[in-house]
Amino acid sequence: MIYAIGDIHGCLKALKDLMGQLPLKEEDDVVFLGDYVDRGPDSKGVLDYLLERRKPKWHFLRGNHEQMMLDWLGTPNPLAASNWLLNGGHQTLQSYVPKEKLDEVRGEGAHVLLQSYIPPAHVEFLNALVYTHETPDYFFCHAGINLDYPLNAQQPDDLLWIRRKFIQDPRPTPKLVIYGHTPVETVDLTGDRIDLDTGCVYGNYLTAMQLPHRILYQSKQS
């Protein structure tokens, strides 16, 4: 079996509840679709949880929020800082940095100070995230694909950021594409592309899907 899990966004309680529902076996694959951090209450706790429990057949994909965080940590500039902080980075900062130090990590040299609070294992985890996971029947990515290109020639920007160009493209996909990134209220299981971001961080559900039977499991943060 394969279990795919949508955008977590720092919702540790929902993640724990959801993982407790899944009838996982050692031989099962688990694919996390990215966006573990930002906006929610405990991004640090989510990464701690995943690192402590990960198995050899767990696959962690890169989301646009991990990319924004890495851009800020690696090559900081005012644009990268504002982009990340305005898109949920403030909540991630709060999960790592003591309250009395928060003002310091928003100023000049903030990336250096922030790195001192982030465990090296977290940085290693973020840097090791992959863009896709593929099987003979399924293609997993964070945001979707650009149907102008074959699956083996997808560009990172599309895999992390694409929305309407993929979602509204009437052309059939080469394989069933499982993705997140664009919040939806309910999961449409009928087509050749399935969006599992059901907006947990906005008060809706964190969703997992079991393949090949397309069985859904869901939990809430509150």
Alpha carbon of 167 to those of 9, 72, 96, 213: distances in Å? Answer: 21, 29, 35, 22
The stretches in the chain having pLDDT less than 70 are 75-82, 100-113
What's the pLDDT at 79?
67
What's the pLDDT at 1?
95
- Residues 6 or more apart whose Cβ sits within 8 Å of residue 5: 18, 30, 31, 32, 33, 196, 206, 207, 208
Fold of domain 2-74+119-219: Purple Acid Phosphatase; chain A, domain 2 (3.60.21)
- Residues 6 or more apart whose Cβ sits within 8 Å of residue 37: 9, 10, 43, 46, 47, 65, 66, 69, 88, 92
Q: Which residue in the block uniquely carries the two structure tokens 């989301």?
A: 63
What's the pLDDT at 118?
87
Q: Which residue in the block uniquely carries the two structure tokens 């099987």?
A: 135
* The token pair that represents 68 in the structure block: 């924004």
Tell me the whole-structure pTM to 2 decimals: 0.92
The pLDDT tens digits for 97-151 are 877 666 665 555 566 667 778 899 999 999 999 999 999 999 999 999 999 999 9
The pLDDT tens digits for 74-84 are 766 666 666 78
Spans of all domains in the chain: 2-74+119-219
What's the pLDDT at 116?
79
